[in-house]
Amino acid sequence: MRLRVLIQDVTQLLFLGSIAFYGKYGVEASADTRLGATVRERTRLHSGWKFLHSPTTPDGVTYSLRPDNESEDLEELRDWVLPVANEFIADADQHYNRPDFEPKVDIEYVADGFDDRNWTSVTVPHDWAITGDFVGSSEVLGDMGSLPVRGVGWYRQKLSFTKNDKDKSIYLDVKGAMAFSMVWLNGHLVGGWPNGYLTYRLDLTPYVKFGKENHLAIRAENPQSKKFSRLYPGAGIYRDVWVIKVSKTHVAHYGTHISTKDVSAKSATVDFSITIDNKDTTQHQPVKVITKVYKYKDGKVGQKVGAFPIENLRLVPGESHASNTSITIKNPSLWGPPPTQEPNLYIAITELYDLENRLLDEYETTFGIRTLNFEANNSLFVNGEHTYIQGVN
């Protein structure tokens, strides 16, 4: 038990220290000013949502049949949702196959012409339960806040894409939706994610109407069982939703990873791996990959401290390419927990260029350099300094 608590608290300590070894995306609507063109654009879908809540199932569908709904005549849609997890399953033999046909359901809420003017106007993040009345303990356990979290919530939003976006990949990032969320665009079921605590990404590109109005619909469902959760779970899209527009040749989702080794006050080896997607299924894409490392403090890029070897690649149509490389950083500024140490950070900025030296994508990976040692009798040492774990739950 002590070991388990120790591991959990160490994980929290590292998280609070802002060490991130996977890439992050740029700022909202970020543009490359050197070329005057947007290379990776993020738009937060905060306002303009229309919302409907039903305490029962109003649409004849569900993610999967459960003891609380198996008596109803509902169409299961999980076969269209599970394939979204394939990018995280290394063994291709274990991948889920998406049906090659649309589910045989008729849901008016996902139709382009549906009139949602009588729905409630909300902003996202949103939680439908917090505006409701408290319910008795016989209906919902007190552990869940005695709030009306159960039922189905529908969200609708209008999106616009220009004809110039045709050469881009369009993604939807849902940072958290409780629970069993599913997404439709222009009447097509794109995918979803059953776990309400995890973020997920969907590729909207095949379903986008460029130069026209697009209709996004997101469904969330909390089971009727009063034992659905042992804590308050939330209800609906309780975190941000983003639309990402990027070149068809781009750094993949969670496409970078950094680890460090042989760390000392004099030097540290930084290993860098990257995966690049070529979503263009018609032609090969030559690309030059440049990744430079800078000091990073208070959200500002500082002094350059190194650069990984430049790669010149020829990407296969519709395929991904993964590669690994490393550099040595001299006299590294180590990350360590305050107040006795400084949480120093670095940032690796990756740029992809085509043969005409046009910037295709830019991707940032923030990381820290440090050593962690665990001793049976003395617990944790960070950069050689005995560190007391003061995690919270």
Domain presence at residue 392: no
Specify if 244 maps to a domain. Answer: no
Is the residue at 362 inside a domain? Answer: yes
In this prediction, the residues of the chain whose per-residue pLDDT falls under 50 are 1-37
Domain co-membership, 194 together with 340: no
Report the alpha-carbon distance of residue 71 to residue 152 in Å, rounded. Answer: 17
CA 140/CA 160 separation, integer angstroms: 40
Where is the domain boundary, 239, 263, 292? 239
CATH code of the domain covering residue 370: 2.60.40.10
Query: Are residues 72 and 31 part of one domain?
Result: no
Q: State residue 80's pLDDT score.
A: 98
CB distance 10 to 380 below 8 Å: yes
83 preceded by cis ω (within 30°)?
A: no
Same domain, 209 and 314: no
One domain, residues 168 and 203: yes
As given in the structure block, the two tokens for residue 40 are 């990776």
Would 53 be classed as within a structural domain? yes
Residues 161 and 209 in one domain: yes
Q: Which of 239, 273, 297 delimits the end of a domain? A: 239
Q: Which of 239, 269, 293 is the last residue of a domain?
A: 239
Considering the domain architecture, whether residues 210 and 329 belong to the same structural domain is answered as: no
- Given the DSSP bridges, would you call strands 75-76 and 61-62 parallel, antiparallel or unpaired? parallel
Same domain, residue pair 154 and 287: no
Distance separating alpha carbons of residues 24 and 347, to the nearest angstrom? 10
pLDDT averaged over the chain? 88
Distance CA 153, CA 53 (A): 4
Q: Total structural domains in the chain?
A: 2
| Confidence (pTM) | 0.86
DSSP assignment of 173-228 equals: EE---BSSEEEEETTEEEEEES-TTS-EEEE-GGG--TTSEEEEEEEEEE-S-TTS
Question: Does any domain span residue 288?
Answer: yes
Tokens representing residue 367 in the block: 């990381």
> Are 137 and 171 contained in the same domain?
yes
Q: Which domain holds residue 322?
A: 2-38+249-387
Question: Other CB atoms closer than 10 Å to residue 163's CB: what's the count?
Answer: 9
Same domain, 9 and 153: no
pLDDT at 7: 34
pLDDT of residue 36: 34
Residue 138: per-residue pLDDT:
60
Residue 146 confidence (pLDDT): 73
**For position 26, what pLDDT does the model report?**
31
Question: To which residue do tokens 């939807």 refer?
Answer: 172
Q: Coil, strand or helix: which one is 8?
A: helix
Same domain, 202 and 79: yes
Q: What is the pLDDT of residues 215-251, one digit of tens each?
A: 999 999 998 876 677 778 889 999 999 999 999 999 9
Same domain for 51 and 150? yes
Q: What is the pLDDT of residues 63-73, one digit of tens each?
A: 998 887 777 78
Q: What is the pLDDT of residue 14?
A: 37
Q: What is the DSSP string of 233-272?
A: ---B--S-EEEEEEESEEEEEEEEEEEEES--SSEEEEEE
- Answer yes or no: do 34 and 51 share one domain: no
How many CA atoms does the CB half-sphere of 195 hold within 13 Å? 8
